[in-house]
Structure 1
Amino acid sequence: MNCYQCSGTIAVDDRFCEECGVSLAAPSTPPSIASSCQKCGAPPRKIDAEGYCIECGFRQVAISTDRIELQPAPNLAGASDRGRRHHQNEDAIALNQLDPDTYVLVLCDGVSSSQHPELASQAAATACIQAIEIALQDGSQEPRTAIELGVAAALQAVSQIPIDPTSSIDPSSTTIVTAIVRANIATIGWLGDSRAYWLSPEKSLQLTQDDSWMRDAIESGMYTPAAAEASPHAHAIVRWLGADTADDGKPNLMTFALPSGGYLLLCTDGLWNYAPDPAYLYHALQQAPDYESRSIARHLIQYANQQGGQDNITVGIFVAGDREIGA
């Protein structure tokens, strides 16, 4: 048998395609009945019997984002997984290699308390990477500017998702973390609590700082780290992308010179909640079967699911230099 999405070989009892990660389970109801418009977010009543959205004209397709795997280059891969508790995957990922020395990673985590979080994350990831690619390919923009343009495009895309103005639920929103790796320099931008790490045996680091209530409470001096972490507001984010963004939506930015060997990891909180300390996260990465980027991404997804899989899990991994696991 062959996968309907990538034509890879599958066995009769396979639940997911080993090549592309798509779910092989038949949907219990057609997409026109089961969900909102996959493009504009119009409610199910706006989808006609043939699957066409009467708002934007897009025809729904039977797809699953429960499990996604990407590998645009041997040293760049990513995966996204629904986890073991959520009913849908509200994360999104986009990766690309633009030339032999330029790589782009974008990860988004839709805010579950907002309308259409799954559409928000996908719209943001798609718009961001497209804007970054355009900015870099014409040669006129530096990586920092390209990321600012990418996040601005993501904000615009999320803000345009149709919502129910009478609902008490917040407008569509998402976190974002993105990186451009060029000439061994990583330029990283983010809003929210999706993170970037540098992982290596010499020294592992958390490169980003969460836009969260806990971080603000600790920095204000009003709470000790222990008291802030114990608060029910600890993981509430204070910045995000959406129509109700509280500020200008400009990303936090930093650059990091990649050492000779190691791993640049971008991930949503579905992973780092189980291993927030960089050294512990590197220890988890070391258990991967080999140093190949897709193997590492798969292993980290598996690790988070083994810990409980309480949230959607998304990871992007860039292997810098020739380094084997544990070397």
Structure 2
Amino acid sequence: MSQARARLQLQAATGIHRGDRQYQQDRIEIFPHPRVQGLILVVVADGMGGRSGGRMAADQVMLTAQQLFERFVPSQEEPLDLLHSLVRESHLMIKLSAISAEQEPHSTVACALLQPDGHCHWAHVGDSRVHVFRAGKLVVRTKDHSYVQDLVDAGTLSEGMARNHPMSNVLTSSLGTTEDPPLTSDSLQLQAGDVLLLCTDGLWHYFVDAELGSSLGRLDPRDSCEFLIAKARQRAMGRGDNLSLAVVKLLRAEAPATPPKRPPKLHG
């Protein structure tokens, strides 16, 4: 059996911290499928819209994700169809929530569906990111739907300059806006040793990809979450945003894989 199709087991953890903000509007979850062994859905959402509006939007993303995933039948449905439905239905529900609450809630979303054989599918809207690292090197990273990413794509701004640009937090798309969000998605066959990272901009803003890859390569998921949150908090120097991350490391299974337990969650 090839490495790509070998049995895999997962190590996973999530971390979340309020940063220096008054309110926590990030949400992060790893959902194990209720019926399919080894199938998980990872979702991160960064809410926007005032004290309660942002949290409302992020909560709606999580509720929609959980409901769709519990109904998902992988033998009959395509993984990317599930992720596209997650994006579309979250967007619609946030817009409906805005009408009843008289607020302007919005949210980013980054989500990844990881199958028992290591096949990974992901989608995102906004500037929450999906990364895949192999041997500490970046293999895949989603492109933000943001003003500075457009400048980077146009060649007028470098990645380093974009990170510290005064308009780095200006999004060109998010859930809950008037226009429908783009359906940006992709897939990759993962293998033993690969690490999947999903995080909000409150975390990735303080790291280059090489730093993330090095940390994730040498630490287990729980220690990675602790280390990266501590380092981000240190670099924020009292001005940090909400931050959240999920880390999933794939290992070669020595025995038949068992369903992943709900991973440890670190709170700050």
TM band (smaller chain): 0.7 to 0.9
Map of 1:207 onto structure 2: 141
- Give, in whole Å, the separation in 1 of the partners of 2:163 and 2:223: 33
- Give, in whole Å, the separation in 1 of the partners of 2:199 and 2:248: 12
Map of 1:86 onto structure 2: 21
Kept after mapping to 1: 8 A contact 2:173/2:182:
no
Alignment map for 1:111-150 (pairs within 5 Å): 111-112=48-49, 116-134=53-71, 136-137=72-73, 139-150=75-86
Kept after mapping to 2: 8 A contact 1:128/1:153:
no
Runs of 5+ consecutive residues of structure 2 not aligned to the other structure = 1-8, 254-268
SS at structure 1 position matched to 2:77: coil
- Give, in whole Å, the separation in 2 of the partners of 1:268 and 1:229: 14
Amino acid of the structure 2 residue aligned with 1:145: D
Map of 2:185 onto structure 1: 253
Kept after mapping to 1: 8 A contact 2:135/2:217:
no
Larger relative contact order (C-alpha < 8 A, sep ≥ 6)?
A: 2
Map of 1:241 onto structure 2: 175
Say which of 164, 167, 181 aligns to 2:114: 181
> Which has a greater percent of strand?
2
Moved over 6 A (4+): none
SS at structure 2 position matched to 1:149: helix
Identity percentage of aligned residues: 23
- Give, in whole Å, the separation in 1 of the partners of 2:189 and 2:163: 31
Structure 1 pair 165/141, CA: closer, same or farther in 2 (3 Å)? closer
- Give, in whole Å, the separation in 1 of the partners of 2:27 and 2:101: 25
Alignment map for 1:26-175 (pairs within 5 Å): 75-83=11-19, 85-98=20-33, 99-112=36-49, 116-134=53-71, 136-137=72-73, 139-162=75-98, 171-175=104-108
Tell me how far 1:280 sits from its aligned partner.
1.2
RMSD of equivalent CA atoms: 2.7
Amino acid of the structure 2 residue aligned with 1:88: Y
Map of 1:314 onto structure 2: 244
TM-score (normalised: structure 2):
0.79
- Give, in whole Å, the separation in 2 of the partners of 1:87 and 1:234: 21
TM-score (normalised: structure 1):
0.65
Kept after mapping to 1: 8 A contact 2:136/2:210:
no
- Give, in whole Å, the separation in 2 of the partners of 1:133 and 1:81: 27
Say which of 218, 222, 234 aligns to 1:294: 222
Runs of 5+ consecutive residues of structure 1 not aligned to the other structure = 1-72
Structure 1 pair 229/270, CA: closer, same or farther in 2 (3 Å)? closer
Say which of 193, 200, 203 aligns to 1:268: 200
